[in-house]
Amino acid sequence: MVWDRAALLASPWFGSVHAVLARLPQERFPSLDELSALARERGVRTAGGAPLAFVPAVARGKRVEDQYEVRIFRTGEVPTRADSSHDLFNALAWLAFPRTKAVLNRHHHDELLRRWGAPQRGTPRDVLTLFDEGGVVVACAAPELARCLAEFRWKELFWTRRREATEAMRFFVFGHAILERAPVPHKGVTAKALVVDIAHEALALPTSSLVELLDERAAAYFARPESLASTRALHPLPVLGIPGWAPENADPTFYDDEQVFRPGRTRAGAS
């Protein structure tokens, strides 16, 4: 990754981590020590109570305590590869959404211990991974727009009702794999969206305050055991359809590609 902090700060894809990005060096890739210092400053801890720190990645051992998520939960150490955009964006997610990341990590830890040695990961860990890598938290002050998203009515939501969607919805990327794709996205990038019902006046909060509120709500959602029951519990969201997130979507025909904006319905989670 070529480090360009100014470009990341200007991109709507990075709105969720904007406050953290603004604290990183302008001219070079941030170091692990700098990321760890931000975690200490923000008081980020795992659900196990360990203060978070970003440490060099090493080969993973074969014991359960050596596994990535178990190590994070118990020691607070997040193995992070230097100069890796994927790992950097994971660090930014921890700093921007510490409560939600801690809840997901606790579930991973508990599931690993519960199913250690099992041939398959199990549905709960699949759900956790899908959101951790590809999640978007959607603040929505209009229930009818949330229904459009849940029912795959993409053109109605993002074109016919574009002004309403722009005024009543905010989209914040949680998943670090989505952030990694942002500099050179392809049309089919699809996230897993958690829709959070929110009062319209809350949308006027400063972005950092709104993200903090959404972090609390998302953490509460994933703390419920039923949130892990199915990989279909969250809404698919074609990210390039979000107004303003791609220049191409200023043309209504952009939404006519059914390979990307697929018709249909899905079960949905909401907090």
pLDDT tens string 203-212: 999 999 999 9
Quote the pLDDT of residue 271. 47
Q: Where are the domains of the chain?
A: 5-120, 129-256
Quote the pLDDT of residue 63. 86
DSSP string across the chain: ----HHHHHH-GGGGGGHHHHTTS-SSSPPPHHHHHHHHHHTT-B-TTSPBPEEEE-----SSGGGSHHHHHHHH-EEEE-TT-HHHHHHHHHHHHSHHHHHHHHHHHHHHHHHHTT-SS--HHHHHHHHHHHHEEEEEES-HHHHHHHHTT-HHIIIIITHHHHHHHEEEEE--HHHHHHTTS--TT-EEEEEEEE--GGGGGS-HHHHHHHHHHHHHHHHHSGGGGS-TTSSEEEEGGGSTTS-GGGGSGGGGG-TTTS--------B-
Contact (CB, 8 A) for 56 and 80: yes
pLDDT tens per residue across span 31-64: 999 999 999 999 999 999 999 999 999 877 778 8
pLDDT tens per residue across span 98-119: 999 999 999 999 999 987 867 6
Q: What is the mean pLDDT of residues 198-219?
A: 97
- When comparing pLDDT for 262 and 198, which is higher? 198
Quote the pLDDT of residue 119. 67
Quote the pLDDT of residue 265. 53
Q: Check whether 268 has a pLDDT greater than 60.
A: no
Percent of the chain with pLDDT over 70: 97
Q: Check whether 267 has a pLDDT greater than 60.
A: no
Interacting residues of 146 by C-beta distance below 8 A, sequence separation 6+: 138, 140, 195, 197, 270
- Token pair for 188: 């089919």
Q: Which of 154, 168, 167, 185 is nearest to 252 (CA)?
A: 154
Tokens 């930014």, located at residue = 92
Q: Which of 244, 241, 237 is nearest to 254 (CA)?
A: 241
- When comparing pLDDT for 233 and 18, which is higher? 18
Contact (CB, 8 A) for 21 and 105: no
Q: How confident is the model at residue 266 (pLDDT cuts 50, 70, 90)?
A: very low
